[in-house]
Amino acid sequence: MRLTEYTEFDATGLATLVSAGEMKPAELARLAREAHDDVNPIVNAVIEFYEDAETVAGADGGPFHGVPFLRKDLGCSEAGRLQEKGSRLFKGNRPSTDSYFLQRARAGGLRCLGRTTPTELGEAGMSESVLNGITANPWDVQRTAGGSSGGSAAAVAAGITPIAHGSDGGGSIRIPAAWCGLVGLNPSRGRISGGPMGQDAAFGFVRPFVLCKSVRDMAAALDVFSGPHPGDPFIIIQPDRPYVQQLTRPTGTLRVGVARTEWGAVDLDPEILQAVDRIASLLQDMGHRVSEMLSPYDQAEKMKISLANTILGANSLEETAREMGRPLDADTLEPITLKLIEFGQGSEPVDIGKHLDNMRKFRFDVGQAIEPFDILLTPTMPTVAPPHGGIYSTTNPALSAEEFLEADNSFYQYLGVFNVTGHPSVSLPLAHSANGLPIGLQIVGRFGDEATLVRISRDLEEACSWRGRQPRVIAGAQER
């Protein structure tokens, strides 16, 4: 198989070849390495491609039998392998435990061949860090791939692997999916275990999953990674059938709430709004009941939650640094991260009871606001991918901690709300700008109802197929 052929397959397609005996896992690993060598010097998405990649373990069989996979260097641990979390503070860190997520990846047939660049500690939505440098967007290398799962997104978009691990605590899967032209689901709180070390991380805001090319890969990944583990704080309602079976089931008529207005201080680009309107019209033509909705939350209330989480995060990082015997200073942390730590140190201690009540009230208010709808259609991001740097990067020394948090909440205005509430939401690459950059639109489902998201995503993929679009930087381009 040539690279040009390899990059055309999604993960399900490659697994079918392996199961049929037409390809071997080691052959796919060699192709992934060849793709890495071809494009990674341009996009800088993969920190480390394992030297023993061709012999990495994975189950024979499973939905992703023999498929190359990459691990975001944050959240998902792999025993004995480096996990530096995008930060000089964790340089050389090697966990001793495999996360449940990685165990399920192997059981599903995936072969983890390396690790991808995150932003420092997952704090920012841009794809750059002092430790790992800038990760470029394969559609335009002068622009960000998004974060904090930007390395995984850039690797999949550029054809290194067809699927890669991500995690989402405020948009960190959906942002890079939108800007790199991929499918990026943030599942319901509790759907995917973060254990054994990070069950319900950050009050359940952070959930691990994948970035991929197709809806069928998303459905298969839900089957692979879903399910409770010991220590999980609660067991979410389980599906009545495999998610891949939802791909052949009817969608029915849905009540669709459409976000046509800003939910934060950053203006919505006209091209993004045009894409929302076009997909809203398409959904109406499919027979769904479509109506406009306003923002379901108060930005000031969301900011209260973000500030409290920042203070708690600063305290936690201080304790971790003490345990490692490492300082928190300009030699270990980026400018904004250090300011966030100093902000936490200088703030009044968080009243946990009040914080929990603020989150409860926020979830209740949002839940009431969106109850009339079965799904929501929103922009994923208010703009296409911006150039590297700017006010949203933790490497920017000019901002205060408060200014960074306010900018962060405003820019990711359609995303973080659903990390607080726990609703599942997926970014789909349903449009492109006039200059060819991907535009992702977000579909939000009811809590625990990934099945409806799979079906409506399938419908939109069939109506607006994105599989023929390719970025400027893709493995094997010289063969074309």
Give yes or no for a contact between 163 and 111, defined as CB atoms under 8 angstroms apart.
no
The residues facing 258 across adjacent strands are: 292, 377
Buried b (16+ CB within 10 A) or exposed e, 214-245: bbbbbbbbbbbbbbbbeebeeebeebeeebbe
**Distance separating alpha carbons of residues 108 and 180, to the nearest angstrom:** 25
**Distance separating alpha carbons of residues 89 and 328, to the nearest angstrom:** 8
Residue 299: both structure tokens together:
């930005």
**Distance separating alpha carbons of residues 142 and 151, to the nearest angstrom:** 15
Residue 273: both structure tokens together:
């709004």
- Has 172 been annotated as catalytic? yes
Give yes or no for a contact between 152 and 183, defined as CB atoms under 8 angstroms apart.
no
Residue 301: both structure tokens together:
């209330």
**Distance separating alpha carbons of residues 365 and 439, to the nearest angstrom:** 29
* DSSP secondary structure letters along 177-236: HHHHT-EEEEPPTTTB--TTT-TTHHHHT-EEEEEES-HHHHHHHHHHHBB--TT-S--P
Catalytic residue, chosen from 77, 87, 127, 148, is 148
Catalytic residue, chosen from 72, 85, 302, 339, is 72
Give yes or no for a contact between 73 and 82, defined as CB atoms under 8 angstroms apart.
yes
- Has 72 been annotated as catalytic? yes
Catalytic residue, chosen from 99, 172, 226, 393, is 172
Give yes or no for a contact between 50 and 41, defined as CB atoms under 8 angstroms apart.
no
The region, left, alpha or beta by phi > 0 then psi within -120 to 50, assigned to residue 288 is beta
What residues act catalytically? 72, 148, 172
